[in-house]
């Protein structure tokens, strides 16, 4: 790459990064922290000084590198909503130039810029860049894994396998679901010039990596997995059963793809688009990206190549066939994505619902973005040897970005009012005094942990069921209902605390957000029935925040 081309590439990468950065920091605190982000705050806040009476640290701290770095970051910028989320925004921004560099070194400068553009405006990546969650950091580490792996396999770089082991070890420590990605990395041999040798080196590297991962698997992954499937995961799995989950994941990774309901505003964009633009427009934006990519893949597979060979790839002039490098890198990355998704689907059938479209599969997102850019580049080469092919590629990119911009805009307008934790905390804090007793039902305490801490909320909080005091950010009401005796015992203990508080002249409250006809509500009703049977009346104070006062109506017989 000569100096002039290098300068243009740098300018393009900088402009794309600035645009992506503006999108990620724009409106960073417009929404209150939701349930998972409150749990992030609790773990980050206590990471270096975990309370002895708190939840089991090794069962709850699943993303050690993320929480370690987040704790260091918030010590500099403060434990505010902006401070918690800005770390995700920062890692999201860093991913853009690194994506450009990695894709350029692997498959050429045009693929690098296209990949950077696609991820800069990708609605899913923007969504996670504005959440105090692990996913953008996870994707950033995954990008390092892909670069080290393909550098070692394709270009024979000696330090590639060492870097692969380091990044992969960090990837698994960040999220144990990355264990399902490691077998899929064997597909990288499709990019190798000598596949037998590459496969042998991959086996040796994975065996070495396995030794590094033994402590993490024994002390972290196995205990966490032993807690079993969660009800909400089962509900999500029913949305995309069987092989449709694989297609749904790939669709979600496409620019302006289709997004499930639990992704906040992204999940409601289609409904809003249908209302504002009609069914036809909604269908074009939702189905269009997948159809365009399918068409480009068909061109790559069946069209006769007309592109020029012998072009330079990456930052150094070489004798490698540029078109061949792009094609093999693209095939390898696409195979890794497909293999990982199928492995995750099979795991979900065997171990129970665990595969979540647009969330736990996010580890494969960088590979999917580079593969998409590679498909665009390969198809443009095969379509025409003149500028027409480049114009087609530009038209495809512009179409993707237009759809992504529309989805991002609509998602920003679809705010779920049920997630306004700040207003709920204000209502509860206004009624509850420091010496009062609060019964937190259905993990309500974790939903408001950040807002309560910010206000200096000092009331005594008791969880029902009792195990919820030791479980951050997860619950399994189906498993709880399978042990009714334990629930009855928890209810008796909770009622006894309420009676003691009321008879001593104090006040008692209950906060809950259970919905009728759900397993959670059936668990809650056990406590409600026990309170009523002991002469305690539940008087709703504010239905929206779920606050109710507990008053003693009759003396216990």
**Number of helices (H), then strands (E), in the chain:** 24, 5
CA 542 to the chain's CA centroid: 33
**pLDDT for 320:** 41
**pLDDT for 521:** 87
**pLDDT for 318:** 38
Give CA–CA dist 2/192, Å, rounded. 27
16-32 pLDDT tens trace: 999 999 999 998 998 89
Query: How many residues appear in the chain?
Result: 557
Give CA–CA dist 553/535, Å, rounded. 5
Helix ranges, 61-174 (H)? 64-77, 81-107, 109-120, 123-129, 135-155, 159-174
**pLDDT for 393:** 82
Residue with tokens 């100096």: 3
- How far, in Å, are 66, 121, 170 from residue 247 at the CA level? 29, 22, 28
104-149 pLDDT tens trace: 999 999 999 999 999 999 999 999 999 999 999 999 999 999 999 9
Residues 6+ positions from 248 with CB-CB distance below 8 Å = 240, 258, 260, 357
Kindly state the helix (H) or strand (E) to which residue 352 belongs, with its residue range: none
Give CA–CA dist 327/382, Å, rounded. 11
Kindly list the averaged pLDDT for each block of 10 residues, start to end, along the chain of length 557: 82 95 93 92 93 80 92 96 97 97 92 95 95 96 96 84 95 94 94 89 93 86 72 76 84 86 81 72 74 84 57 37 75 95 90 84 96 91 72 86 86 71 92 95 91 93 92 83 93 95 93 79 92 93 91 66
> Cis omega (within 30 of 0) on the bond before 251?
no
**pLDDT for 402:** 87
Residues 327/334, Cβ–Cβ less than 8 Å = no
**pLDDT for 556:** 46
Output DSSP code: residue 316. B
| CA atoms within a 13 Å half-sphere pointing along the CA-CB vector of 184 | 27
**pLDDT for 300:** 83
Helix ranges, 175-321 (H)? 195-216, 222-225, 231-239, 244-253, 269-277, 279-302
**pLDDT for 315:** 38
pTM: 0.91
327-376 pLDDT tens trace: 899 999 999 999 999 999 998 888 877 788 899 999 999 999 999 999 99
361-371 pLDDT tens trace: 999 999 999 99
**pLDDT for 98:** 96
Output DSSP code: residue 217. I
């Amino acid at each position: 790459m000569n100096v002039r081309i290098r300068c243009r590439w740098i300018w393009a990468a900088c402009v794309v990064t600035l645009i992506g950065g503006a999108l990620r920091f724009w409106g960073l605190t417009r929404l209150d922290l939701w349930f998972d982000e409150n749990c992030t705050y609790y773990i980050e806040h206590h990471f270096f000084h975990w309370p002895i009476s708190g939840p089991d640290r090794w069962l709850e701290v699943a993303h050690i590198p993320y929480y370690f770095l987040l704790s260091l970051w918030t010590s500099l910028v403060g434990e505010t909503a902006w401070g918690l989320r800005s770390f995700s925004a920062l890692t999201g921004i860093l991913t853009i130039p690194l994506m450009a560099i990695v894709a350029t070194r692997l498959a050429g400068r045009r693929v690098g810029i296209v990949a950077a553009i696609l991820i800069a405006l990708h609605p899913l990546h923007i969504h996670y860049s504005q959440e105090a969650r692990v996913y953008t950091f996870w994707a950033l580490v995954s990008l390092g894994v892909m670069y080290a792996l393909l550098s070692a396999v394709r270009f024979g770089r000696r330090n590639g396998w060492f870097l692969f082991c380091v990044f992969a070890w960090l990837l698994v420590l960040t999220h144990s679901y990355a264990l399902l990605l490691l077998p899929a990395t064997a597909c990288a041999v499709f990019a190798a010039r000598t596949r037998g040798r590459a496969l042998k080196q991959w086996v040796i590297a994975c065996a070495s990596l396995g030794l590094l991962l033994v402590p993490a698997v024994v002390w972290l992954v196995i205990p966490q997995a032993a807690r079993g499937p969660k009800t909400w995961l089962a509900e999500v799995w029913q949305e995309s059963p069987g092989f449709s989950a694989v297609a749904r994941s790939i669709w979600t990774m496409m620019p302006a793809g289709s997004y499930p309901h639990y992704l906040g505003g992204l999940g409601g964009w289609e409904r809003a688009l249908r209302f504002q633009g009609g069914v036809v427009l909604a269908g074009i934006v939702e189905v269009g990206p997948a159809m365009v990519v399918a068409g480009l893949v068909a061109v790559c597979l069946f069209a006769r190549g007309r592109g020029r060979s012998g072009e330079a790839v990456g930052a150094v002039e070489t004798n490698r066939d540029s078109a061949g490098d792009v094609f093999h890198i693209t095939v390898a990355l696409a195979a890794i994505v497909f293999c990982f998704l199928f492995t995750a689907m099979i795991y979900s059938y065997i171990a129970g619902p665990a595969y979540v479209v647009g969330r736990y599969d996010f580890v494969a997102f960088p590979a999917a973005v580079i593969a998409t850019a590679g498909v665009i580049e390969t198809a443009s080469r095969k379509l025409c040897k003149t500028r027409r092919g480049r114009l087609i590629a530009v038209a495809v990119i512009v179409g993707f970005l237009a759809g992504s911009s529309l989805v991002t805009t609509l998602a920003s307008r679809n705010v779920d009012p049920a997630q306004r934790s700040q207003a709920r905390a204000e209502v509860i804090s206004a009624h509850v005094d420091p010496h009062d007793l609060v019964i937190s039902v259905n993990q309500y305490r974790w939903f408001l942990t950040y807002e309560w801490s910010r206000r200096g909320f000092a009331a005594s909080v008791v969880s029902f069921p009792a195990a919820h005091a030791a479980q951050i950010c997860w619950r399994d009401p189906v498993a709880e209902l399978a042990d009714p005796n334990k629930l009855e015992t928890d209810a008796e203990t909770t009622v006894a605390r309420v009676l003691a508080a009321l008879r001593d002249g104090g006040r008692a409250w209950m906060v809950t957000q259970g919905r009728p006809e759900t397993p959670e509500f059936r668990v809650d009703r056990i406590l409600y029935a026990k309170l009523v049977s002991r002469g305690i009346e539940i008087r709703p104070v504010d239905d929206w925040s779920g606050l109710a006062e507990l008053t003693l109506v009759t003396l216990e017989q």
